[in-house]
Structure 1
Amino acid sequence: MRFLNDVLPMRALLRGAALTAALVRGGMLVLAVAMGLLVSGCASDKDDTIPPDEPAEKIYNEGLTLLRRQEPEKAAKRFEDVDRTHPYSEWARKALLMTTYSYFEAGKYDEAIGVGKRYIALYPGSADAAYAQYLVASALYENIPDITRDQRKTRQALDALENVVRKYPNTEYAATAKRKIEVARDQLAGKEMAIGRYYLEQRNYTGAINRFKVVVTQYQTTRQVEEALYRLTECYMAMGIVGEAQTAAAVLGYNFPDSSWYKDAYKLVQSGGAEPQENKASWISQAFKKMGLG
């Protein structure tokens, strides 16, 4: 589920001698992080002891060196040293953002979320606050669980991604967040479908309808909606509520005429001696009209 190139083009930046700002083209994110000039020196990843007067920029650049060597977790620890030994300095601010990125690269998403939220709380007006919020949202996105599990983390990721779009609508962060939002929404819709299918198998038609209704009313732009309309047709036919079954099939055919789910819905309605026919007063019809799809 990870789109690394959409997250941060940091590896390309780290190959250079200066790390001030970068514009990444071709649909990738724009990263403008004032990092200062790299100071020559090697990262001392073998010795965790920090001399009391060790300059912040030296520690910081050792973290950058570790990133270039593709050792992000070690880099995160080194950036944390900057924050610990030189708190409230400009180097500490930069290091905090780099710690977030390093933990993200290391796959330590919970750590990235925690550090990123701290950056946002300390520096909400920073030019890099947008990037920090995007990193937090992306880390939450990477924590999205399997469809069989509780989807609380998916909702958290969706909220964070929508927050990026709302606060920074004209940025590359927003453009990439929108793509991830669609995946998260599809995941939530898929969970509703899985529960609905379970109820349907148990012949708990009311319970199944309630789940499929969530998909139809809240997740119409996901790929799950076609099956949801078919399952509604199936449920209503089983309950003898033919009018609603006809409407579900008709709305499915109108919006997705080439769908295999529509062919199945058409046959199912016909087997009951009816044809797909939309009742404009049905909640199904009204739901799609609100979205401009019906």
Structure 2
Amino acid sequence: MASTAACATLTLLTGCSLFGNKAPQVPQLSSADAYYNNGIDALRGRRYALAAAEFEILQQNYPYSGYTANAQLMEGYAYYLQSKYPEAAQQLDRFIELHPTSTDGAYAFYLLALCYYEQIGDVNRDQQMTAEAMSRLQDVIARFPQSKYARDAQLKIDLCRDHLAGKEMLVGRYYQQQRAYQGAIGRYQRVVQDFQTTNHVAEALERLVEVYLDLGLTGEARRTGIVLAYNYPGSKWYRFAYSDLKRYRLLEASTPKPGTTKGPPGAASQEETMSPAQSAARGIGRADAPASLTAAPVQPVSSQSLQSDGSTLTSNVAHQGVAQGTNGRPR
């Protein structure tokens, strides 16, 4: 026992002599503005993972800094640029909850909506994400009706509606092929009644003409053909319907030939809108950089010059001398 104690004492003394009787040094943290500058520089250099990490370190170590609120928003934007939409949404939800009166609220709500919008899948899949995206976009319009984000949100809502209508048409065509005509009629009628501004209405009317003819409902087929002629006289779908009605000898003297009548002002054409998947493929609809990347002062600013809630993105930091960023019938 005595020898064991002696060894322990000798080890302790030896350890103390190795450190020179001084405790190990702990690396010092950088300042809040340094972390924020690093994050901004990383965003400018498209090193989005590094940017998110810098903003996260700032929040963890300087929770009451004037930079913290902006760091929360910018971290969400960095995740968004990496297509890490769940992480971005979580960060943006946190920002909105902690800073409900922020002057950057409109952008935060808009970017949060885009996190759902970007996840909209093909019409062959479940459209729950489309419905969620519409709800979030409508939130932007309701809360910030006069903002530029509201105008863009309305456009994206129209694209979401077009996507939902496309889903209804997909199911309707399947029912029609299976001769489940009642189900097909229900899907096509929903497109006509609930998605009147989408580019699927002309096809839905033409499909209804087909189904009514198959069921022997010639009166319904003729009336639907007249509606199609009035609203989409130059579309291929009216040409198909006109051909079917002619084949069944259901044309009247007053039935217009394709392309000879003019629909009401604002009648949608087949190519006026794109689905979210189409717009994403063309690079349309992605969020622009927040103001911190396009309007940040060139000269560094101190945390004291920021608002207490850190809600003004135009007060963000940029290192001196760093250039500012830019930004036949289908069956």
| Fold match (TM-score > 0.5) | yes
Specify the alignment match of 2:200 in structure 1.
Answer: 224
One-letter amino acid matched to 2:212:
Y
CA contact (8 A) 2:209 2:225 kept: yes
Is it true that 1:67 corresponds to 2:67 in the alignment? no
The reply on whether 1:248 has 2:205 as its aligned counterpart is no
CA contact (8 A) 1:246 1:276 kept: no
2:210 is aligned to 234
Alignment gaps of 5+ in structure 2: 1-25, 255-263, 268-331
Change in 2 beyond 3 A, CA 1:64/1:268: same
Aligned match of 1:192 in 168, 187, 193? 168
CA RMSD of aligned residues (A): 2.2
Q: Does 1:183 align with 2:159?
A: yes
Deviation at 1:110, TM superposition (A): 1.5
One-letter code aligned to 2:51:
A
Instruction: Label 1:245 to 1:51 Cα distance change in 2 as closer, same or farther (>3 A).
Output: farther
What is the letter of the counterpart of residue 123 of structure 2?
A: I
Q: Give the match's secondary structure for 1:248.
A: helix
5+ residue gaps, structure 1, are 1-49, 279-288
Q: Which runs of 4+ in 1 moved over 3 A?
A: 50-54
Q: Does residue 1:171 correspond to 2:165, yes or no?
A: no
Distance in 2 (CA, whole Å) between partners of 1:150 and 1:277 is: 45
Within 2, Cα distance between the matches of 1:214 and 1:51?
Answer: 65
Equivalence for 1:206: 182
CA distance in 1, matches of 2:132, 2:97: 18
| Cα gap change, 1:241 to 1:74, in 2 (>3 Å) | same
How far has the Cα of 1:277 moved from its partner?
11
Partner Cα distance (2:65, 2:224) in 1: 61
Per the alignment, residue 16 of structure 1 pairs with none
**In structure 2, what is the Cα distance between the partners aligned to 1:276 and 1:265?**
14
**Residue 82 (structure 2) pairs with residue 103 (structure 1):** no
State whether residues 197 and 208 of structure 1, in contact with CA within 8 Å, keep that contact through their aligned partners in structure 2.
Answer: yes
- The residue that corresponds to 1:11 in the other structure is none
Instruction: Report the Cα distance in structure 2 between the residues aligned to 1:276 and 1:180, rounded to whole angstroms.
Output: 41
- Partner Cα distance (1:132, 1:88) in 2: 20
Find the counterpart in structure 2 of residue 142 from structure 1: 118
Find the residue that maps to 1:90 and give its secondary structure.
coil
Residues 102-136 of structure 1, C-alpha deviations (whole Å, 9 max, x = no match): 11111111111111111111111110011000101
* Distance change in 2, residues 1:234/1:51 (3 Å): farther
Q: Which has the higher contact order (CA 8 A, sep 6+)?
A: 2
Deviation at 1:270, TM superposition (A): 2.5
- In the aligned structure 1, how far is the partner of 2:252 from the partner of 2:160? 32
Which structure would you say has the larger Rg? Answer: 2
Q: 1:161 aligns with which of 137, 145, 157?
A: 137
> In 2 relative to 1, CA 93–238 (structure 1 residues): closer, same or farther, beyond 3 Å?
same
Cα deviation 1:5-50 (Å, max 9, x = unaligned): xxxxxxxxxxxxxxxxxxxxxxxxxxxxxxxxxxxxxxxxxxxxx9
Percent of aligned positions that are identical: 43
Paired positions, count? 232
The 5 A counterparts of 1:257-276 are 257-275=233-251
Structure 2 equivalent of residue 125 of structure 1: 101
Q: Please state whether the residue corresponding to 2:152 is helix, strand or coil.
A: helix
Alpha-carbon distance in 2 for matches of 1:140, 1:75: 22
